Amino acid sequence: MLIGQNIARELSAWRKQEEEISRLFPTSVVNSRAFQLEKLTQLDTIYYKHSKGLARGGNDERLMLRMLNIERKKLEKQLYPKIWLRFLRQLVRPLKKNAAMKRELGQRNSNEASIREALGKAGFGSIDWRQVDKCLQQGEPSFSVRHSQHVSKEKHMEYELSFSRDTQGRYQFERYHAALKSDTHPDQNRQQFFSAEGAQHTTAWQAFHLLEGRAVQQEYINALGARQSCWFKLDFNDKDSHGNFRWREFHTTMDLEKAMLALPIKEKAYYHEMEKLLQGLRNGERVAVHLLKQGIEIPVSLETNPQLKALELYNANGKKVGLTEALGEKKEKAAVVSLPQIQEQKQQRKNAPSQAIKP
């Protein structure tokens, strides 16, 4: 049945293209020999491409191929009324068939490469490709594959990746369902659908941190076409009609680098380490750093809170603490480090109202 489905899909795609050309161009163009030759080439390509699977096809597939061959032969006779010309075309049929198979192989390899690239960008580069390849070979209009990974001793992520085929027969990685599972606290299990397309796509690593309750920074295009940043967070107290958590947006501009440099941390002495920490904070991570006090290193963690425009500190036991308490000087209520605002970008935001695109 698969062969018949593929033939029907490709013929349907060509018919739509033919209808669109008929709508846009005069009848003289559609009836011209040049266009009819192009039509014959399209029918030849579809026929030769699928005729190799005729032996394993069912009655429906064989019937569809025979009907396609009748239409192809009829058009061929109109374009090549002399029998010797049609005989010459039969002589080069193996070449045409090989060319069609090579084009199919090239298109399939190109599609696979684009899918692998999309998976890599989304953080699924380690997925078992055999799952994906098996589904690609089956040729279904859409399919999904599962993937899981441990994120800590007690937690793991389960993903279901969704793929669909466009009108040209190319598959796209569209979105995925992510579920955070806790072995010790099942009441903290959460799940959400995320987009895998566009500039605002959410990576697998970001999805984990969002489900953990942290915020992620992403770029978007404002109303004037300029790129700006926005912090996104999931609202665990509000769901939409599909059961997904609604998104909260924080259009605040925080100078993370300046705030980090203001802290007495060991890592600020190393440029590449600082860049890694800043990127981690933007991805929603709780990053590990070391406070320095009279030559002693005190391990703590930092997390971004865009709602409070602050960095939150956590001690080695995971308890939220203030800076002086983390340094062992005294206990304090405040558990955040305020982040400086970038005045220039703040003014740009006032002058250019924008609408963020949700991931």
Confidence of residue 347 (pLDDT cuts 50, 70, 90): very low
The burial class, CB within 10 Å (0-12 / 13-18 / 19+), for 193 is middle
For residue 359, give the nearest of 202, 205, 220, 144 by alpha carbon.
202
| Measured distance CA(218)–CA(216) in Å, rounded | 7
Residues 141-164: tens digit of each pLDDT: 899 999 999 988 899 999 999 999
Q: Which of 34-38, 88-92, 133-137, 264-268 has the lowest mean pLDDT?
A: 88-92
Task: Identify the weakest region by mean pLDDT among 40-49, 92-101, 212-221.
Answer: 92-101
Tell me the residue type at 54: L
Cβ neighbours of residue 137 closer than 8 Å, sequence gap 6 or more: none
DSSP state of 244: P
Give 341 or 149, the one with higher predicted confidence. Answer: 149
Residue where the block lists tokens 């009836």: 31
How far apart CA 14 and CA 43 sit, in angstroms, is 9
H helix or E strand, kind and range, residue 338 = strand 336-338
Domain borders along the chain are: 2-91, 126-216+232-250, 256-340
Instruction: Answer yes or no: are the C-beta atoms of 252 and 231 closer than 8 Å.
Output: yes
Q: Is 294 exposed, middle or buried, given 0-12, 13-18 or 19+ CB atoms closer than 10 A?
A: exposed
pLDDT given at position 58: 63
What secondary structure does DSSP assign to 118-147, as a single string?
Answer: HHHHTT-TTS-HHHHHHHHHHT-SEEEEEE
